[in-house]
């Protein structure tokens, strides 16, 4: 039985751990050189920074994931630095690229642990050099041990905003401002409901308290207006405070992010159905509580199957592997599956409450100025999308993929992973429809840029 696990973050590590324990030698693929996922990304060799500095209160979990990963490599067909750019569920094949070399891998079963990425709301000036996502700023810190600027403003909402602010402080780089679009009062109203989150909840409170105690200027319930500068430099960010006053803070770099969205393109290509998750305000692939999907031999785990956090990802990875083993006729430990099922159910409820405590500000995306670039790859503005949505009924774009055909939204290097959510909000407003009715940009191979010289790529495109 040839089993492939895509991803070596928390979910992938725990999935492989269960498979190896059961006597399998899975093929294990990851884009990064040394695994760990985005949350526990490892620094390159030679960068000797303390785990506590890099991962804060998650240092213990990060080390545990890293140690397990290292112990498992020799017991798997380990393939780092490898991109999976297509999956064919009918022939049960994966197309991969490593060091310029194409390879087609067959599988009997596959567990997709593809993780998540930042969800972005474009602002005027967001395409300037010096502007990145919160996740990008975090990767720079972990992978290179550096901040993205000398005077960094952090903008958005959600746990990652506050975690990154805390990590910057721990590394001696206090942000010039934390601009949270969720008000303090709104978060406070959900505090009691978040108590079942246990240590996750208390860590979040600690991050917020530490950021404030360090004297970092914090603005909650704010609305970013624009990132300004001259030439290729960021000079300031302008925003409105909760009271409606306009403020401008000098900075030389900005990190943006409004929660996370699943990296679910491979699940899409595999034929897994999707649904719009209201609390997450995201399209997520459908799976059951064990990680099984409606597509034979395809299992999902981690944030690529719906945002739940690193702790839940570890459990979900283990549970998906156990489900695969059960389906293959193997005996699995009943107490372990019961423990995982109970813990995942509790974390699922906690996550839904967390999403309500840090809501995606759809109104901010919908009110985007017409001249703001939404799709930076193809230079498509908010006004371009509104014009498509406002055409006469016979020519209007009633859903996002038709708008893509009219405007080229999402046809660039990111394949709509960055611009898709904001584009959907703008189109929904122009059409007077709910964003769930606008649909989502469908996954297309290759899911990420690959050399066109490959005959395999050309065949898949046809």
Architecture of domain 121-258: 3-Layer(bba) Sandwich (3.50)
Given a cut of 70, is residue 456 above it in pLDDT? no
- The pLDDT, as a whole number, for residue 459 is 61
| pLDDT given at position 391 | 62
**How would residue 49 be classed by pLDDT, with cut points 50, 70 and 90?**
confident
pLDDT of residue 211: 97
User: What are the Cα distances from residue 346, in Å, to 117, 201, 338, 350, 436?
Assistant: 24, 13, 13, 6, 26
The pLDDT of 79-100, averaged and rounded, is 96
What digits encode the pLDDT tens for the residues 325-348?
999 999 999 999 999 999 999 999
Question: Does residue 49 or residue 152 have the better pLDDT?
Answer: 152
Domain with CATH 1.10.10.1100 in the chain: 363-438
What's the mean pLDDT in 402-429? 92
Residue 154 or 461, more confident: 154
Higher pLDDT, 56 or 91: 91
Residues of the chain with CATH 3.50.50.60: 3-117+261-355, 121-258
When mean pLDDT is compared across 281-295, 386-400, 432-446, the lowest value belongs to 386-400
Mean pLDDT for 131-150 is 93
pLDDT confidence of residue 43: 82
CA distance 198 to 56: 18
Mean pLDDT (the chain) is 93
**Where residue 76 falls among pLDDT bands split at 50, 70, 90?**
very high
Confidence bin at 420 (pLDDT 50/70/90): very high
What does the pLDDT average to over 94-119?
96
The radius of gyration of the chain's CA atoms, rounded to the nearest angstrom, is 22
Sheet holding 223-230, edge to edge: 223-230, 233-240, 246-250
Lookup: tokens for 395: 């020519």
Q: What are the b/e assignments for 270-304, b being 16+ CB within 10 Å?
A: bebebebbeebbbbbbebeebbbbebebbbbbbbb
Share of the chain above pLDDT 70, in %: 96
pLDDT of residue 458: 53
pLDDT digits (tens, 9 = 90+) for 223-275: 999 999 998 899 999 999 999 999 999 999 999 999 999 999 999 999 999 99
Largest CA distance in the chain: 64
Average pLDDT value for residue range 60-69: 95
Confidence tier at 295 by pLDDT (50, 70, 90): very high
pTM metric for this prediction? 0.94
Helix axis angle for 382-389 and 400-407, nearest 10°, is 110
Among 186, 165, 194, residue whose Cα is nearest residue 351: 194
- Taking the C-alpha atoms of residue 134 and residue 259, their distance in angstroms, rounded to an integer, is 9
Query: How confident is residue 18, by pLDDT bands cut at 50, 70 and 90?
Result: very high
**In this structure, what is the dihedral angle of CA atoms 134, 137, 139, 141, given to the nearest 10 degrees?**
-130
The highest-level CATH class for domain 3-117+261-355 is alpha beta
In this predicted model, which residue has the larger pLDDT, 196 or 110? Answer: 110
At 461, is the pLDDT very low, low, confident or very high (cuts 50, 70, 90)? low
For 115, the token pair is 């993780």
Give yes or no for residue 396 having a pLDDT over 70.
Answer: no
Q: Which CATH class is domain 363-438?
A: mainly alpha
Question: What does residue 390 show for φ and ψ, rounded to 5 degrees?
Answer: -95, 5
Model confidence at 131: pLDDT above 80: yes
Q: Is the pLDDT of residue 214 over 80?
A: yes
The pLDDT tens digits of the residues spanning 144-170 come to 889 999 999 999 999 999 999 999 998
């Amino acid at each position: 039985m040839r089993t492939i696990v895509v991803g070596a973050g928390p979910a992938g590590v725990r999935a492989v751990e269960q498979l190896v324990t059961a006597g399998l030698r899975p093929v294990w693929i990851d884009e990064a050189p040394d695994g760990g996922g985005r949350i526990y990304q490892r620094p390159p060799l030679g960068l000797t920074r303390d785990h506590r500095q890099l991962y804060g209160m998650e240092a213990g979990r990060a080390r545990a994931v890293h140690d397990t990963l290292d112990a498992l490599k020799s017991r798997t067909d380990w393939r780092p630095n490898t991109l999976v750019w297509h999956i064919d569920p009918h022939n049960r094949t994966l197309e991969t690229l490593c060091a310029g070399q194409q390879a087609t891998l067959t599988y009997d079963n596959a567990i997709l642990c593809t993780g998540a990425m930042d969800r972005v709301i474009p602002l005027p000036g967001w395409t300037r050099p010096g502007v990145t996502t919160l996740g990008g700023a975090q990767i720079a810190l972990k992978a290179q041990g550096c901040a993205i600027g000398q005077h960094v403003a952090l903008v958005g909402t959600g746990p990652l905003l506050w975690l990154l602010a805390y990590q910057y402080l721990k590394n001696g780089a206090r942000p010039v401002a934390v601009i949270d679009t969720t008000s303090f009062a709104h978060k406070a109203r959900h505090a009691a409901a978040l108590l079942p989150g246990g240590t996750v909840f208390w860590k979040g409170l600690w991050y917020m308290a530490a950021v404030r105690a360090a004297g970092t200027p914090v603005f909650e319930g704010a609305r970013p207006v624009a990132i300004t500068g001259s030439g290729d430099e960021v000079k300031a960010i302008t925003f409105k405070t909760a009271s409606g006053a306009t403020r401008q803070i000098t900075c030389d770099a900005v990190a943006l992010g409004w929660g996370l969205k699943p990296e679910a393109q491979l699940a899409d290509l595999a034929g897994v159905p999707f649904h719009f998750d209201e609390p997450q305000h995201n399209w997520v692939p459908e799976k059951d509580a064990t990680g099984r999907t409606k597509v034979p031999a395809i299992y999902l785990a981690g944030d690529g199957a719906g945002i739940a956090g690193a702790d839940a990802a570890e459990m979900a990875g283990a549970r998906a592997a156990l489900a695969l083993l059960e389906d293959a006729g193997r005996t699995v430990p009943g107490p372990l599956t019961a423990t995982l099922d109970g813990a995942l159910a509790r974390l699922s409820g906690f996550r839904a409450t967390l999403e309500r405590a840090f809501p995606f500000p759809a109104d901010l995306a919908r009110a985007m100025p017409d001249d703001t670039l939404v799709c930076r790859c193809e230079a498509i503005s908010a006004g371009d999308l509104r014009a498509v949505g406002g055409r006469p009924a016979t020519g209007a774009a009633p859903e996002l993929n038709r708008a893509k055909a009219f405007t080229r939204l999402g046809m660039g290097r990111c394949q709509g992973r960055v611009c898709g959510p904001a584009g959907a909000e703008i189109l929904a407003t122009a059409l007077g429809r709910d964003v769930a009715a606008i649909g989502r940009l469908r996954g297309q191979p290759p899911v990420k840029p690959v050399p066109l010289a490959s005959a395999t790529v050309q065949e898949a495109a046809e």
